[in-house]
Homo-oligomer: A and B are copies of this chain.
Amino acid sequence: MFRLAHRLRQSSSCSTASTTLAGPLRRTNSVVRQASIRLASTAAARAPTFPCVDQHAARTARIQAATTSAASSTSDGGPEPPYARPTPKQYNLFTSTQPLALTYSSTPLPSHEVAYETWGTLNPARDNVILVHTGLSASSHAASNALNPAPGWWEKFIGPGKALDTDRFFIICANVLGGCYGSTGPSSVDATTEQPYATTFPVVSIFDMVRAQFALLDHLGVERLYASVGCSMGGMQSIAAGWMFPERVGRVVSVSGTARSGPASIAIRFAQRSVLMADPNWNNGFYYDGLPPHAGMKLARQIATITYRSGPEWEMRFGRRLRPVPSQQVVDPGRPRTPALCPDFLIETYLDHQGEEFCLKYDANSLIYVSKAMDLFDMSHSSLVELGMLDADSSTAKSESAKRQPQPHLSHHPPHLADLSRGLGARLARIPTLVLGVQSDVLFPVEQQRELADALRAAGNEEVTYYELGGVWGHDTFLLDVQNVGGAIRGFL
């Protein structure tokens, strides 16, 4: 950490830095003058530098250089969005000119676009369609295809003979409303202003995302889904799809999802939004003609990454091991290495790397809007009534009948379970549903998986399949565990 060179930061606070860093060089007239001179020299020689902090300024410089270079090479001269928005040729684009009703806004979205991709073949009866819903930051590119041969985020699960078997099914995956990979979101241009929406974009809900997807299904002439499948936030959408369109959904699969975001998950997402919004480059969301809040995005992703795996996995993978240090940087081979305040343990370099990789790949406002949509998701009866999606007295009969049945499967009874059961049960009591959760998941904890299965069962749904996986992969299990997650889905379908 303590480098020999005395480097000043490239930031705007340079002048302050130079004033204060000069401190250790001052001489003192006290009685300890001799010692002081020796120690002060040592301090000056060891003026601290922080590569992990300097990284933010270095990234700024890189973005600015790339923007300048792009501006001089493109015909319109405008800066390119710095995150890797896929080119329109890599996905299909559905443009709807029908107003899209929104949960939290009295004004519908006048028009919207949905980026989507497909795999397999739509059969003549049009009844072999599986809609795959994505997690927070995923694009429509779930697997490689003719438009885009790069591996997708669920490559191991979609294909001939795989869990979502393309020999049998026609798979559709769309980028969510609010996202930045082709579908309409805060980075899209508002036709009325010819400027990106930024934070004038309306708050969207999981229901809005599903509504946009079903507008796409209408466009494709798909009346009914064989199944709605989703993991993480995709699980929320999958549940919502079955609930909103029970006559159009044959089966529901929710892997590491939830029917009701709890305060612990909201807390984790709030912390991410807070660090992002505190980045001065965020600029209240209006950064599209300048620097994006890349430092805030990196910090937010570091926090998020903590919740994607698990302590036991890091213990096995990293333990307490330190990053390797080149031998010429070892000051004294006989002594323990001086710890760095910047990343030093492998777990730290891992989080740093994950943040660095992500910070320019996704739009900051999309992160804020989509993570907020997750927080807002609640299929409880009281919440659905408040949103005007259910009548206050709906499903009372069902709920009463459910009460009379013995409930051998119920594993616990949080206070909100009855409310949730009544909400879900209003429309999901008859759709076969697979609920799969992971015990090491800290973001969508296993209690929420049990809760979802219990709520459906208590509502009288007799076709709930429930699996709980062990292992150390935490929330990311749905991306990694082909054997167990893939097997459960294949078996259920």
Contact = CB atoms under 8 A, between A and B. Distances in A.
Interface in A436-477: 442, 445, 447
Contacts of A268: 306
Contact of A32 (B26, B192, B286): B192
Nearest to A27: B193
Nearest to A17: B283
B372 A53 contact: no
Contact of A351 (B42, B46, B193, B271): B271
Contacts of A264: 306, 310-311, 314-315, 347
A308 to B, nearest CB: 11
Interface residues on A, range: 35 or more
Given A16-B283, A378-B320, A278 B53 contact: yes
B320 A273 contact: no
The 8 closest A-B pairs by CB, nearest first: A264-B311, A20-B286, A23-B195, A263-B314, A263-B347, A39-B192, A36-B192, A48-B199
Interface of A: 1, 9, 11-13, 16-17, 19-21, 23-26, 28, 30, 32, 35-36, 39-40, 42-43, 46-50, 52-53, 56, 103-107, 110, 190-196, 198-200, 203, 260-264, 266-268, 270-271, 273-275, 277-278, 280-290, 295, 299, 302-303, 306, 310-311, 314-316, 318-320, 332, 335-336, 338-339, 341-343, 345-348, 351-352, 368-369, 372, 375-376, 378, 383, 386-388, 414-416, 442, 445, 447
Given A11-B280, A30-B194, A203-B338, 6 more contacts: A17-B286, A20-B290, A24-B190, A47-B200, A49-B284, A50-B284
8 contacts: A40-B193, A46-B200, A104-B339, A264-B306, A270-B345, A274-B302, A278-B295, A320-B378
